[in-house]
Amino acid sequence: MARYLDLHPENPQQRVVDQVVAALRDDALIAYPTDSGYALGCQLGNRDGRDRILRIRDLDEHHHFTLVCKDFSQLGQFVHVDNASFRAIKSATPGPYTFILPATREVPRRLMHAKKKTVGVRIPDHVVACAILETLGEPLLSSTLILPGETEPRTSGWEIKEELDHVVDIVIEAGETPAQPTTVVDWSEGVPEILRYGAGDPSRFEV
């Protein structure tokens, strides 16, 4: 059964955050709140966690995973951001955007898009997610918690606990979250292409 941990949405208790991070370092898969609904997350090196995410969401090996980062400097360690995209991406973060960019050597090959060698990155604007990332000290390998046959992310920790009790290790409750997923912008070819319209204002990236 999944552990159900309640975190204050504005002042998350550090002792509980520490429990979450300890579990992540022990290869746990968590369901956690973000500024665009719930997401599934695990450590970058957690191969089983990656496979569990694919099974839960019924996705194939070509799925674009997202590295959820604590800040722009950490994001820059894992993707190549050229001069054309730097200012636009930096001005949109933190926020409900996912950017597809060429991966650096820091990204394990199994997490990249098989052909393009790209990966998704984002910096959430959510107190609880940021507290976990700050304590963990590295990005979370993540995917929006949209279940098969659905189009919107889950927004309630208790509902997730009931439905995914035996397939995730921890569910974090921190109040209601927005029901819209991130706006996804592919910048891997040097110009922005919006792949999914979501919570982030797309007009700043429309050309």
Q: pLDDT tens digit string along 82-99?
A: 988 899 999 999 999 999
E strand or H helix at 84, and its extent? helix 83-91
Tokens in use for 75? 């994001």
**What is the pLDDT at residue 206?**
84
Residue 161: alpha-carbon gap to chain centroid? 19
Question: Which pLDDT tens digit goes with each residue over 127-147?
Answer: 999 999 999 999 999 999 999
CB-CB neighbours of 49 under 10 Å: 23
Cis peptide leading into residue 94 (ω within 30°) = yes
- The domain tally of the chain equals 1
**What is the pLDDT at residue 177?**
87
Residue stretches of the chain with pLDDT short of 50? none
**What is the pLDDT at residue 60?**
85
Asked if 30 contacts 170 with a C-beta cutoff of 8 angstroms, the reply is yes
Q: Which domain holds residue 192?
A: 3-205
Neighbouring residues of 124: CB distance < 8 A, sequence distance ≥ 6: 34, 35, 36, 68, 94, 96, 130, 133
Nearest to 44, CA basis, from 170, 140, 145: 140
CATH number, domain with residue 71:
3.90.870.10
Angle among Cα 28, 185, 164 to the nearest 5 degrees reads: 25
